[in-house]
Amino acid sequence: MPVDRIKSLRKQLELLNHQYHVLDAPTVPDREYDRLMQELIALETDYPNLITKDSPSQKVGGKPIDSFRQVKHSIAMLSLDNAFEDQQIIDFIGRVANRLELNEQQVLDLKFCAEPKLDGVAVSLRYENGILMQGASRGDGINGEDITHNVRTIANIPLKLLSENPPEVFEVRGEVLIPHRGFEQMNERARLKDEKVFVNPRNAAAGSIRQLDPTIAAARPLRFYAYGLGEFSGIELPGSHFERLIKLSEFGFNTSPGTEQVTGVAGCLAYYQLIQQRRDNLEYDIDGVVFKVDELLKQQQLGFVSRAPRWAIARKFPAQEELTTLLDVEFQVGRTGAITPVARLEPVFVGGVTVSNATLHNADEIERLDVRIGDTVIIRRAGDVIPKVVSVVLARRPDSASKIVFPTECPVCRSEVHRQIDEAVTRCTAGLYCAAQRVEALKHFASRKAMDVDGLGDKIVEQLVAENIISNAADLFTLDKARLISLERMAEKSADNLLQALDESKKTTFARFIYALGIREVGEATALSLTQHFGSLANLTHATLEELIDVDDVGPIVANHILEFFNSEHNIDVVKQLIQVGINFVESEPAANQQTLPLSGQSWVVTGTLDKMTRQQVKEQLQSFGAKVAGSVSKKTTVLVAGTNAGSKLTKATNLNIKIMTEDELVNFFKNIKDGELE
Ligand code: IVH
């Protein structure tokens, strides 16, 4: 009977949908899903009177609507009060405690449901007898717009609740958003078609659900995360908000990962720190965290004030984007001659710090942004990433704005500059004849992960080069006390210390030495591979292209940089002089190698359940990068890797302000180390 087959197909597809889109854990290949869906569509085409609203075939987006219908929310969709400082959280909890007449101990024990504040668009979904009947936007909180046709197309919104005995009425509230990856892909496609790109994922999500034609929303990578309830009847729900969220996931919804029950002021403040640390590694934008008094009875006692509940507050992150003025552009010359335009800005507080410089990357970027001196620009500083100019506010361009002229000669040594056809970077061609490149090469040579010369700061290197006292790395070892004392701000004691540090640095490892030479694209990991492969300086300096390519991590480009480096007579001279002044390599390779590894000197702790790697694999991987793996968290812990259900170690690490990584972040981190991106 077609009716029975249709029923069975729908049931299977609902389950597969849930596994794929909500649980992110598919159990069958995509092909099988497609086959079942095709069969269902074919049957529904033959028997159109059997099509129902909640059939999985209805997700693709139906016919456009003519206009938006107004929807009155039976329970208002509220907004939240904002807090921008810890003190405002303390005050909020104080107000809650006063109203609830809690004693000191009760305040300390007060439970909150702590959730990431998702940066998307609020939506309310109404289910009647388990079937999705209506989707509405927030509007002014009282009246919204009917967007049922669009929400039905969102992959992780169930058309039917996962329940044998669904409640009569069940309104789910949450946020619709677009994850970063989907956003990038969507904009990439728009660019290819010469269409308008969206400024950010939130605008894109808002734009998508406000379309009359549902096929547009269906084509966008929208997702829904539930964070609360509106009206409901015919169901008994738990008295804790946190437990209600668990109930929502049982009904088939995604709730925001990272939601936790926390206790008291300390729990809230630690949670804010934890989520702030995770922010840059999340798949979507969040703009803060939300704290909700967890107990429903207490929420009812507290009630509302105007449009916001007294039982909840949003702790916002510092803004990551701000407006400021571009005052000037300077061109810096790096170690490899790369000329980087640097924006000098009217200082502005963004991403938690005051920013007065931002990178403009290269000439293409200046052209792409069409940025001019005097423009009002949007600066973005996310996490620890260097601040960048995101865009220009053209409407505010003053008449006096002037074009940025990329230099045709090196701003430091006046030599010719060159840009290779397939490269975005313009470089000074003078190599170590350029004082800027010499300074940068020397800074790199002395840096911690290279020769580790304690006390040879940037300012000293700059002076030594500017006054022509040294011109290459070998000259560093010919410095004497009298020379050093003649420098500005160099006391006798510092001069002694520096000479001693230089002397001590002579005893190093082969890998550190090769890294210190500053060969283009030879980072720590490549230096280590090279030294392990060739075993001696003579073998490495005489290696052929084929031999170099044979080394792990070395491709033709890096191999050519290495060849070029050792083909230069000047470089070979400096290397020889360095060996002559007494640089020698420590024999005991394994111990010596430890020091050059990216995580040497660090202590890591792993806790909770991991699902992508075993504990042992993580441990071995960390150790292979030079880290120690300890069993308990202490002040000396560098990073805590927290899997799911991490308990007391996570609390302790949070209290000690220790960096915390999720398993996904760790996997990414390993990948970055292997790619040699880790500085
Ligand atoms: S609860 C009565 N929880 O923030 C409380 N809102 O500024 C109503 N939002 O309109 C909201 N993540 O769009 C709540 N975990 C979360 C949230 C969240 C994002 C948005 C929501 C709301 C706005 C209020």
How far, in Å, CA of 609 to CA of 644, rounded?
5
Kindly report, as residue ranges, where domains of CATH 1.10.150.20 are found in the chain.
431-505, 510-593
Where do the CATH 3.40.50.10190 domains begin and end in the chain?
603-674
Note the pLDDT of residue 579.
95
Report the pLDDT value the prediction gives residue 622, as an integer from 0 to 100: 86
CA of 285 to the centre of ligand 1 (A): 14
DSSP class of residue 146 equals B
Q: Break the chain down into helix, strand, coil percent, rounded to 5.
A: 40, 20, 35
Does ligand 1 lie within 6 Å of residue 228's CB atom?
A: yes
Please name the residue whose Cα sits nearest to atom 23 of ligand 1: 79
349-375 exposure pattern, b = at least 16 Cβ within 10 A, e = fewer: ebbeeebeebebbbbeebeebebbbbb
Phi and psi for 571 in degrees, rounded to 5? -65, -45
Cα 474 to Cα 487: distance, rounded to the nearest angstrom: 19
Domain 510-593 part of CATH 1.10.150.20: yes
* Catalytic residue ranges: 117
> What pLDDT, on the 0 to 100 scale, is given for residue 679?
43
DSSP class per residue in 627-659: -EEESS--TT--EEEE-BT--HHHHHHHHTT-E
How many angstroms does the Cα of residue 70 sit away from the middle of ligand 1?
Answer: 21
Q: How far apart are CA 373 and CA 363, in angstroms?
A: 14
Per-residue pLDDT, 589: 42
CA dist 222 and 536 (Å) reads: 56
Q: Report the alpha-carbon distance of residue 632 to residue 318 in Å, rounded.
A: 32
Ligand 1 centre distance from Cα of residue 124 (Å) = 12
Atom of ligand 1 nearest to the CA of 119: 19
Domain 603-674 has CATH 3.30.300.20: no
| CA–CA gap between residue 284 and residue 436 (Å, rounded) | 40
Q: Is 275 in the pocket of ligand 1 (CB under 6 A)?
A: no
- How many Å lie between the centroid of ligand 1 and the Cα of residue 202? 14
The alpha helices in 487-523, defined as continuous H runs, are: 492-505, 510-516
Q: Is 282 in the pocket of ligand 1 (CB under 6 A)?
A: no
Q: Whose CA is nearest to atom 10 of ligand 1?
A: 79
Please list, in sequence order, all residues whose beta carbon lies within 8 angstroms of the beta carbon of residue 518, skipping any fewer than 6 positions away. 335, 336, 441, 444, 445
Per DSSP, which regions of 111-222 are E strands? 111-118, 121-128, 131-137, 143-145, 169-177
Greatest CA span in the chain, whole angstroms? 100
CA 535 from chain center: how many Å?
Answer: 38
In the chain, which segments carry CATH 1.10.287.610?
2-57
SS3 of residue 227 by DSSP? strand
pLDDT at 423: 84
Could you tell me the distance, in angstroms and rounded to a whole number, from the CA of residue 252 to the centre of ligand 1?
A: 20
Does 312 contact ligand 1 (Cβ within 6 A)? yes
Residue 592 pLDDT: 41
Residue whose token pair is 């509940």: 309
**Distance between CA atoms of residues 268 and 93, nearest Å:** 10
For the record, the structure tokens of 238 come out as 């738990």
Give distance in angstroms: CA of 117 to centre of ligand 1. 7
Q: Answer yes or no: is the C-beta of 80 below 6 A from any ligand 1 atom.
A: yes
Distance CA 515, CA 537 (A): 13
Q: Is 205 in the pocket of ligand 1 (CB under 6 A)?
A: no
Query: Going by CA atoms, what residue is nearest to atom 2 of ligand 1?
Result: 78
Q: Out of 3.30.470.30, 3.40.190.10, 1.20.1110.10, 3.80.30.20, select the CATH number for domain 82-88+91-316.
A: 3.30.470.30
Quick one: which atom of ligand 1 is closest to the CA of 77?
8
Atom 3 (ligand 1) nearest CA: 227
Tell which one of 124, 173, 175, 259 to mutate to probe ligand 1, the residue whose CB is within 8 A of the most ligand atoms.
175
Is domain 321-403 in CATH 2.102.10.10, yes or no?
A: no
**Three-class SS of 32-59:** HHHHHHHHHHHHHHHCHHHCCCCCHHHH
The CA distance from 179 to 252, in Å, is 20
Q: Which residues of the chain have pLDDT under 70?
A: 383-384, 587-596, 676-679
Separation CA 226–CA 209 (nearest Å): 16
**What local confidence, expressed as pLDDT, does residue 433 receive?**
87
CATH level 3 topology of 431-505: DNA polymerase; domain 1 (1.10.150)
CA distance 533 to 432: 28
Q: How many CA atoms lie within 13 A of 571 on its CB side?
A: 17
Cβ of residue 308 lying under 6 Å from some atom of ligand 1: no
Beta bridge partners, 125, equal 135, 172
Residue with CA at minimum distance from ligand 1 atom 13 = 122
Measure 147 CA to ligand 1 centroid, in angstroms. Answer: 19
Mutate to test the pocket of ligand 1, among 77, 78, 117 (most ligand atoms within 8 A of CB): 117
Indicate the pTM of the whole model.
Answer: 0.63
State the closest ligand 1 atom to the C-alpha of 308, by its place in the atom list counted from 1: 2
Atom of ligand 1 nearest to the CA of 117: 12
Distance 80 CA to ligand 1 centre (A): 6
For 290-327, give one letter per residue: b (16+ CB within 10 A) or e.
bbbbbbbebbeebeeeeebbbbbbbbbbeebebebebe
Question: What's domain 2-57's architecture?
Answer: Orthogonal Bundle (1.10)
